[in-house]
Amino acid sequence: MWFRRLLALFALLVPLVLLAIAVFLVFYAWPAIHYNGLDFLWRDTWNIGNQYASPIQRHGETVMPGAQFGILFLVAGTLGSALIALLFAFPLGLGAALFLSEAVPHRFGHFVSFFVELLAGIPSVVFGLWGIVFLIPFLSHHVYPVLARLFHFIPFLTRPIGSGYGLLTSSLVLCLMIVPFITATLRDALRSQSTEMREAGISLGATRFEVATRILLPGQKTALAGATMLAFGRALGETMAVLMVSGNALNYLPHNVYSPISTMAAFIVAQLDSALADPTGMAVRSLAEIAVLLLVISLITNGIARLLIGMLKEHTL
Amino acid sequence: MSQAPGDPPPRPSSAWIRYRRIKSAIGWFLAGTALVALSVAMVQILLYVFLQGFHSLAPKLFVENTVGVGGGLKNAILGTALLSGSAVILSALIGVAAGLYLSEFGEGRLGTLTRFLSDVLVGVPSIVLGFVGYVTLTVWLRWRFSLAAGAITLAVLMLPYIVRSTELALRRVASGIRESAYALGCRDHQVVFKVLLKAAAPGIGTGILLALAISAGETAPLLYTAGWSNYSWSGHLIHEPVAYLTYVIWSFIGEPFHSAHALAYVAAFLITFMILLINLLARFLIASSPHSNR
């Protein structure tokens, strides 16, 4: 029995670590949560205040005069980049998974999917490097001008195309980073379906594509939803790659897809140094409030994703 | 419809069949295009990083420390090895034990909770872990930028991966093996150490290797816990910042100097190459494992 208790102690560490992270963050961010109130999400100015003045008291907290913290531009950037990334990643991941599981021999499919899933293993910062030295020059010289000219009648796709650092570039990089989650989960789910289903479909006169999309895929809706949620969560919390290609906009709402943006995760890295200049510490605590929000978002998206995928496992076992 | 029970079903018209065939062909074409697009992007990234990195590779990079925006990468290579190495040891000790609990005795409430929360912890953005590490270890405990702060933050990041992969690897061990061991009179710890861990070693090892690959590529959790240093680590666990390769990639690509870019390319090459190698090795381990069900 002592051995089981010892192992249980180690297992207990996982919930404890997560609890400690949440408690520390909320505790640390509390003055900022109190000072910023609910407007935090809807205000679009991040201003750490006049650093040359003396601290003042406002709403019972010590802050620098003029200090105001709002992250609407971050919310817009985070949601915008993640949603556009999902818009690309969903069809790409779905198509690739269908093709890998139903159209090519299994050996070949196995090899290629290993290769595609390696995308998930490439570090965020390497994606960022590739984005800066290859993708951004390529897009801003050859793709975005054409895109802006072709779709000049669609408000969000018209000029100015800017420098290449921005919303669409971030989304494209994010898309490559999250696609493996969708492809890998869906391919495994499709392959786990019985051969009889395929044979029954073929014998009814359906083409292989119809078997894949009308018979196999509908059974995997939950897996697909779970994987998509997981990918969305990843996109929302991705830091380094976005930091490097987003243009790090401050207090600026994107007005087209080429606009520079910043996301909540990238903003924490980008602003911690200057937030540390605030002698009252309110700026760092407001960054902690962003971290709290990120934590809550990741708990929700991953919780839903795992429940969906978990439901599926009980269903198939 | 006026169809008698004995009649054969009406045959679909050939135009209808042709329409469906064409639609299917278009569908496969689109699906194939998606796969090709992903593969091309993957190849492009790898080739770009490898060619640029290989081009800038020089022997002196491995023996010199970084000087300003030039010099070598000895400090960063050493630092990455130290940070990821100590993190993986710490995380594997806890993670394998927790995974053992989940797979062998984890049917109760604690097991369900730990399983769910470690899946959730996987999804917590790495910058959140980095920020918490900064607030608690660097500032509150006054460790400043240090190996200990960086390694512990990385260990937390790797923990859920190791817990879950260990659990999966152990679950693949046939229950007959456990039953025979218990039937021979083994105690819990004997079953675990003499039977289960040996049988599941390839799977557990693969999980640890993959976690190592993930930690080596991380930047955000280290920026404000490990810091950066132009010198090689001199043996202090706390109060001494540590250099690491991913920092070089992030920071030096933004500098307007050729020498800085060359260092960033080489750092990206080294990290990507190592991660690729670990992934291939992990594949090989899974394939050669006697209990693999693939």
On the question of pLDDT at A33 being above 70, the answer is yes
pLDDT in tens, A53-79: 778 777 777 778 778 888 888 999 999
In chain A, residues 160-179 whose CB comes closer than 8 Å to chain B = 176, 179
- B294, with CB counted inside 10 A (0-12, 13-18, 19+), is exposed
Q: Is the pLDDT score of B271 beyond 60?
A: yes
Q: Is the pLDDT of residue B222 over 80?
A: yes
Q: Which pLDDT belongs to residue A315? A: 43
Q: Enumerate the residues of chain B whose CB falls inside 8 A of the CB of residue A240.
A: 219-220, 246, 250
| Interval A197-201 mean pLDDT | 87
Partner B contacted by A317 (CB < 8 A): no
Cβ contact, residue pair A21, B132, below 8 Å: yes
For residue A62, the SS3 value is strand
What is the nearest CA distance from A74 to chain B, expressed in angstroms? 15
The amino acid present at A127, given as its one-letter code, is F
A27 vs B contacts (CB less than 8 Å): none
More confident position, B81 or A160: B81
Q: Do B33 and A130 touch (CB under 8 A)?
A: no
Rounded distance, CA A51 to CA B164, Å?
48
pLDDT computed for residue A317 by the predictor = 35
Identify the band that residue A235 occupies on the pLDDT scale cut at 50, 70 and 90.
very high
**ipTM value of the model?**
0.89
Count chain A–chain B contacts defined by CB atoms under 8 A: 251
Tens of pLDDT, residue by residue over B26-58, are 999 999 999 999 999 999 999 999 998 888 888
Residues 6+ apart with CB under 8 A from A190: A97, A98, A101, A102, A212, A216, A217, A220
For residue B48, which residues of chain A lie inside 8 Å, CB to CB?
A: 130, 133-134
> For residue range A102-157, what is the model confidence (pLDDT) as tens digits?
888 888 888 888 888 888 889 999 999 999 999 999 998 888 888 888 888 888 87
A160: preceding bond cis by omega (within 30 degrees): yes
- Chain A residues in contact with B275 (beta carbon < 8 A): 121-123
pLDDT at B53: 87
Q: Which of B101, B102, B156, B161 to mutate to test the interface with A (most CBs of A within 10 A)?
A: B101
Name the band, by pLDDT with cuts 50, 70 and 90, for residue B3: low
Partner-chain residue, chosen from A100, A213, A234, that has the shortest CB–CB distance to B27? A213
Q: Do B28 and A24 touch (CB under 8 A)?
A: no
Closest CA to A93 of A175, A215, A172, A191: A175
Whether the predicted pLDDT of B85 surpasses 80? yes
Q: Model confidence at B293, in pLDDT bands (50, 70, 90)? A: very low
So what's the pLDDT on residue B294?
A: 38
Considering CB atoms only, which of B136, B218, B283 is closest to A24?
A: B136
Decide if A8 and B110 are in contact by the 8 Å CB cutoff.
Answer: yes
Q: Are A259 and A162 in contact (CB under 8 A)?
A: yes
pLDDT value of position B125? 92
Res B22 pLDDT > 50: yes
Is some CB atom of chain A closer than 8 A to the CB atom of B208?
A: no
pLDDT at B292: 45
Six-digit token pair at A152? Answer: 């000049």
Chain A contacts in chain B segment 99-138 (CB below 8 A) = 100-102, 104-106, 110-111, 113-114, 116-129, 131-132, 134-136
Q: Name the band, by pLDDT with cuts 50, 70 and 90, for residue B176.
A: confident
Instruction: Answer yes or no: is pLDDT of A288 > 50.
Output: yes
B250 has pLDDT over 60:
yes
CB contact under 8 A, B272 and A122: yes
Q: What percent of chain B lies above the pLDDT cut of 90?
A: 29
SS3 A265: helix
User: Model pTM?
Assistant: 0.90
Residue B231: what pLDDT? 78
Confidence tier at A264 by pLDDT (50, 70, 90): very high
pLDDT band of residue A281 (cuts 50, 70, 90) is: confident
Give the number of C-alpha atoms closer than 13 A to the C-alpha of residue A55, restricted to the C-beta side.
12
Q: Is the dihedral of CA A296, A86, B206, B74 positive or negative?
A: negative
Output the CA–CA distances (angstroms, integers) from residue A185 to A6, A219, A233, B178, B245, in the order listed.
34, 14, 15, 31, 31
What residues contact residue A128 under an 8 Å CB cut-off, 6+ apart?
Answer: A173, A240, A241, A242, A243, A244, A245, B249, B250, B253
Residue whose C-alpha is closest to residue B128's, from A230, A25, A85, A205: A25
As a whole number of angstroms, the distance between CA B139 and CA B132 comes to: 10
* A-chain residues near B133 (CB < 8 A): none
If one compares A84 and A252, the residue with the highest pLDDT of the two is A84
Residues 240-259 of B with CB under 8 A from A: 246, 249-250, 253
Residue B92 has pLDDT above 90, yes or no: yes
A27 touches B at CB < 8 Å: no
Q: Work out whether the CA dihedral B65, B71, B76, B77 comes out positive or negative.
A: negative
Residue B131 pLDDT grade (very low, low, confident, very high; cuts 50, 70, 90): very high
Residue B231, min C-alpha distance to chain A (Å): 22
Q: Assess whether pLDDT exceeds 80 at residue B275.
A: yes
Q: pLDDT band at A316, cuts 50/70/90?
A: very low
Q: Which comes out higher in pLDDT, residue A311 or A138?
A: A138
